[in-house]
Amino acid sequence: MAIFRYPNWRWPDVPGALEDFERARRQMDRLLSAFTGGSESVASSGVFPPLIVSEDEDKIYVEAEISGIKAEDLDISIVGRTLTISGERKPEEAQNVNYHRRERKWGSFRKALTLPEDVDTEAVRAECKNGVLRLVLPKPEQVKPRKITINGQ
């Protein structure tokens, strides 16, 4: 395959061009997954750690795959609706060894997420088990859906 090089090429200075491309890419992904029968598309932001965010009537759940990270190297904070997960994945120290394979990555990370609704920051629970972080963020009373009973005559 031929490789073309454009030494003087620059990204066109159009506001929002990158965002438009990103949107188009996501739409293509969604279209392709519909053809291949994938029910849920995995659209990654590329920033570690990978997350699954879900919600029900009174809670928001956030799950993250963080294998190899100790709980004390992890920092979770919520300011308003912004949830930030940051930390560092440290390499295992081994001396006088020869490496045959090094596929596991390490480094520091920081990921911010805007929650779809307000949460009760005081009541957030976090649990780390087998390299999976699980956060349960309860919604405050006023945003929970309320069932209104209609009185018939």
Partner 1 sequence: MADDLQIEEKKAVQATGESTRDIPVFVPAVDIYESENALTILADMPGVPIEKIDIDLDSDQLTIRGTVDQEEVKGKVIFKEFTYGDYYRQFSLSSDIDRAKIQASTKDGVLKLVLPKAEAAKPRKITVQST
Of 73 and 121, CB closest to partner 1? 73
Of 45 and 153, CB closest to partner 1? 45
Tell which positions 61-90 bind partner 1, by CB under 8 A.
61, 63, 65-70, 88-89
Burial of 107 (0-12, 13-18, 19+ CB in 10 A): exposed
Q: Which residues, at least 6 apart from 125, have a Cβ–Cβ distance to it below 8 Å? A: 135, 136
Enter the tokens of residue 137: 């963020």
**Facing residues of 61 across strands?**
54, 136
* Binding flag, residue 37, partner 1 (CB under 8 A): no
* Binding flag, residue 56, partner 1 (CB under 8 A): yes
H or E stretch including 11?
A: none
Interacting residue ranges for partner 1, rule: CB under 8 A: 40-56, 59, 61, 63, 65-70, 88-89, 92, 94, 96-110, 116, 128, 130-132
